[in-house]
Amino acid sequence: MQIIGVEAIPLRIKREEAYLGVLPKGAGQEAYFLRPPYRALYSAYFETAFVKITTAEGLVGWGEALAPVAPEVVQQIIEQLLAPVLIGRDPLDGNVLWNVMYDLMRERGYYGGFMLDAISACDVALWDLRGKILGQPVYQLLGGAFREKIPCYVSGLPRPTAHERVELALEFVEKGYKAFKLAAGHGVREDITSIGSLREALGDEATLLLDAHWVYTLDESVQLGHALSDLGVGFLEAPINPEDIESHARLAQAVAVPIAHGETERSRYQFRPWLMQKAADILQPDVGRAGISEVIKIGLMAEAFNVKMAPHLSVGLGICIAASIHTAAAIPNLYLLEYQPPVFEIANQLLESPLVCASGFYEIPRVAGLGVALDERRLRELQA
């Protein structure tokens, strides 16, 4: 068994409604834009980067990187740096190939960011290939499924007012969903008011979570954390700059609400100090940034610290979602998996057979590999 082809495919899909809701006033439709108070760049498109790895026998494995901006960067890394070391190798040598890819630029400081995103896409494709070669779903190759279906939370609630967010959440309650994450960070008082409105409307049985998008100081986070604890919130995500592990550790000691962190990190090496310093109660690696191999290793490491996993899953499309479902099935210490309804809808438009999420749970694909097939004709039409 030998790899003969590695192709990266960047993708942009135009949408009426941007990720996290409508575009801010004045945001350019063809350019990246800022969405204050958040500091990261956002796109008017849904952007991603797929990778197609082909064997001499004609088998194909599909991978995907979480690439919400500049997916061409991931494409160039895959085709110029990673493809040459993968072609000619046996796709069954998964752990060996991960280390070969990781070592290529490691001593030059590229052990995060776009480099790891590109490695992750290839890692996912290799798992898909191995499943197809061996005739097993990926979760089985990872050691089996700890659960029959994957519990999830509805993420974002992208509406401009607290009242509208409550209305949206209630629509999902009618569909059987019981866990919700608010995209917040608009000021401590406003965040408390918003989450309080959800608690009042949804009752004590609902699981409520809050994502602060790294906008607060330690003191502000402590104030917010105490209020969220009183409201029975399941976790406070990304409250402080991601580089500041020490402040997160102090926050975790000061408040009862669990602190969640992880979408910015790519490897077990980056998560290790968070565990050692007790800076996070829940880890959130993203399969599109860390790959299946690393997320499993991060999960096992977290288990040794009695820390739960809630994998991040934002604008990754069908392959990212399927890979996340398989990985979540194989993690013993899973809390919840993220669910983005607008993204999920777009993802299924690119698949020959849709993924299923209903009544608060993802269904696990049960066929060989990741269990999903991209509509390649549709994919090529949308290629960036």
**Under a CB-based contact definition with an 8 Å cutoff, are residues 169 and 208 in contact?**
no
* Helix, strand, or coil (residue 41): strand
* Distance (Å, whole) CA 238 – CA 263: 9
- Tell the residue number behind the tokens 């000061």, with chain if given: 254
Comparing CA positions, the residue from 156, 88, 83, 139 lying closest to residue 343 is 156
Q: What is the DSSP letter of 82?
A: I
324 CB burial (10 A radius; 0-12, 13-18, 19+): buried
Structure tokens at 194: 């918003």
Comparing CA positions, the residue from 191, 209, 150, 197 lying closest to residue 170 is 197
* Distance (Å, whole) CA 149 – CA 233: 24
Q: Interior CA angle at 40 toward 192 and 211, to 5°?
A: 25
Phi and psi, residue 208, nearest 5° = -115, 135
Q: Interior CA angle at 303 toward 298 and 305, to 5°?
A: 100
* Helix, strand, or coil (residue 103): helix
Could you say which of 163, 248, 261, 312 is catalytic? 312
* Distance (Å, whole) CA 91 – CA 95: 10
Phi and psi, residue 318, nearest 5° = -55, -40
Active site residue 248: no
Structure tokens at 11: 């993708």
Could you say which of 213, 248, 261, 326 is catalytic? 213
**Under a CB-based contact definition with an 8 Å cutoff, are residues 124 and 97 in contact?**
no
Comparing CA positions, the residue from 111, 69, 121, 62 lying closest to residue 291 is 121
Phi and psi, residue 35, nearest 5° = -130, 80
Q: State CA 51 to chain mean position distance.
A: 17
Structure tokens at 136: 């097993």
Residues designated catalytic: 213, 312
